[in-house]
Every structure is written in structure tokens, then in C-alpha cells.
Structure 1
Amino acid sequence: MTGKRTIAVMQPYFFPYAGYFRLMAASDIFVLFDDVQFPRRGRVHRCEMTAGHWLTLPLAPMPFDTLIKDLRWADDARTTLDKRLAVFDLPGRVTAPAMEPIGSHLTGSLDDVTDFLEEGLRLTAGALELKADIVRSSSLGIDPGLRGQARVIGIVQALGGQRYINASGGRSLYAADNFRQAGIDLRFLVPYAGRFPHILPALFGNDLADLRDDIQNTCQWAP
């Protein structure tokens, strides 16, 4: 998956499933889409630990149109998050030295929400030996009037990308002709069908080698 400067753009999820990290494995630059509206039913602020059971970050009530980069913690968020972590025996289940930074991150100080999300993704990428550079869309000076795929094309162009990759679920959002006219190759990954739908239990279960292999082996272009 080399040869063209490849860009991926995703909202900064809170410890998402392993399939998310395939975009880091397949890209040169991974853009955290932080200057878009916060999706209240998405995965920005919650991590699925087992099927149907979620670890949710304690965020302050915010207006409906709040951008991800403007999210704030609820009052007494540290105490609330500690209680929610304890439900899943975190960080008590941290046994491998490689996981200590992630355990410390989950129990450390809570400053900026987006910083917290980005650091969690960076720590996971480091543990999985993924080399993509990580930047925030809000740092690129993209015209705020651009929306949808026009905004994504603007991001790719700002970074000098020749290829844009997305998860398979993004097919309905993008038109290949629009990207082609902008000189960008639009590609999708095959749907994730690997072994690790829940990333935190996998990380703390000492499955790092298996997790790395799973991400690499399922990181394939869709036809």
C-alpha cells in the first residue's frame, strides 16, 4: 500500500475497535477530524468493552452543534471516570509493562478532551508499532465553508496527498469522480472481520502480537 502519499481522515475515537487502526497502518498521515460536529451516538466519547457494554467518558452538557475540539469534561469527571473504569477492572488488569502508559493515561489528569483522545490513539498506535504521522484537521487551515467530501479533499490537498483511504462504510459518502478530478485516488478497505472488536480488552489481555497481526492481515483494499 505504498507508492502514493496516502491520507486517512477519521474522528478521534476513544479506544475504537481494531479495524480503525488499519487506517493508520495503511496511511502515511492520519488526520483526526476534530473540527466537525460531535456525534452524540458515535464512538468519540465511548469505547465498547464487550458486546453492548460501554465505557463512556464523562463530558459536560454542550450545545448540539458543538465541535469535537470544543468538548469539555463534566464536573468531577476524574472521580466519575475512575468509577466507570473500576466496573471493567481498569487499570487493575494492566500487567504487561508495554501497557503501563495506557493505564497511566486512563487514570491521569483530565485536561483538554481532544488532547486526551489523541493521546489514547497515539499510545495505542505506538504499542501496535504503527508509523503514520498524526495531525488534527483543525491545524490545517481548511476553509470552514467546505463541507462533506469537499472538506476531505481540501484536507488531502493541504497535506500533499495523492490517495485518500477510508473504511468500507464510507462508500456512500464519497464520489470517486470528484476525487479523481482533484488528482486523488479514492480507495476503501475491506470490512473489518478480524478477531478484536474491542480494543482495550485486547490490549490489556497481553495480545499485542496477535493484535498487530490481525490489523496487518486484514488491512486490504476493497475491489
Structure 2
Amino acid sequence: MAPHLDAVRVERVWSAGGVVRVEARTRELAVACADCGYGSTRVHSRYCRPLADVAVGGRPVLIGLSVRRLFCDAPGCRRRTFAEQVEGLTVRYQRRSPLVQHLVVMAGVLLAGRGGARLLQILKAPLSRTNVLFHLMCMPLPAAPTPRVLGVDDFALYADTYGTLLVDAESRLPIDPWSGRDAEQLTSWLRAHPGVRVVCRDGSLVYRQGISEGAPDAVQVSDRFHL
């Protein structure tokens, strides 16, 4: 069987209706509580967890995994019971193995919704285009690198309420928006992101103060609309 099933005890494998079905159960090992990390082997109950796995021989695979719900006996832990997770096979609130989930995400990244759904249909992991886009939108964005040249400006949210927008002045990509336009927020951001060499700003004395305190060595440049 697949290497990621080595962590469980496979009890039965059979084919029915064009689907490869696997019946397995977790091993009787100590599992750490999801909240406090305290190891436990005291079983509260068991239940069957269905998992879609990568196709074998052009046929979809469905795993029926019997997992334990365990008591947490750690003093002071607020969680009374917790369900065990199998590394490389299960993820909380997922009915797909990490391998299938990776296929879903990569299909969404490469082909977006409709094309991703067609590819997953070929790979025997069918999913609607809406769900492909949903999983694509759930992907965490990579951390934006600290820009060498930073643009700082305000924008009106409504009436006299303003926000602040930071932009990488070289790539022209937005970095971070927030509500308000006070010096403390800008100072904190600059101190947490050292490396800014030039800051383009308007004539606001608030932004000048924030830049002077957060990045005193940075060159401040007034944008052309406020010269």
C-alpha cells in the first residue's frame, strides 16, 4: 500500500463499483492533546472517518479510518476529549488526505476553477470549480518582502474617516492597509520591517513623524502631487 498508510493498521482492501476501498484503524499509541500537548491513551470512543485518497490504477480510493476519541487527563486543561490525528494522513476538518488536498490546491493555482476541476476529474479526485476556487482562496499568502522604496498615503473610507495604505513603490504592489492615519502605527510597522531606504509620502506631518521615529535613516521624498 501507499507509504502514508504505514502509520495505521490496514485491515481490508477491496474494489467495489470502480472504487478501491480501504478499511483501516489507528494504532494504540499515545497521542498529544491538541490544546495542551499532554499524551493520552485513555479511549473515550471510536468512530469511522471517511477519507478520499489519491487514485490507484485509475480508480478513486476511499479510506474508512477508525480513529479514537481520547480523554485528556492533564490537570488544568479545558479540553475533556479530543480526536486523534494521523500525521500524513488526516487533517482536522478535512475529508481528504494531504496528498489529495495538495492536488486540489495545485490544480487551483495552475488552472483556476474550471480548468482545475477538469484536471481533478481526470485524476479521479472530482471537485466542482467553485470548491476549487474556495480552496485556492484559503491558501495563505506569502509574506511580502520589506520594500526598499515604500509609498505611504491615506485614503478616505467614508466622510472624514481615513485609512493608510503602504505600497511597494518599485513593484507598485500594495503591502498593508489599516484604519486611521496616526504616527504610532507607521512607526511600529517600520520598526518591525527594517530595511526601508526611501519613503514616499504626502505633506502630512503625522507621516513625517512616524517615518522619522520608525526609520530615522530613511530618505523621505514628497510625492509630486504635494510639491
Short-chain TM bin: under 0.3
Q: Larger helix proportion, structure 1 or 2?
A: 1
**Structure with greater contact order relative to length (CA < 8 Å, sep ≥ 6):** 1
Rg larger in structure: 2
Q: Larger strand proportion, structure 1 or 2?
A: 2
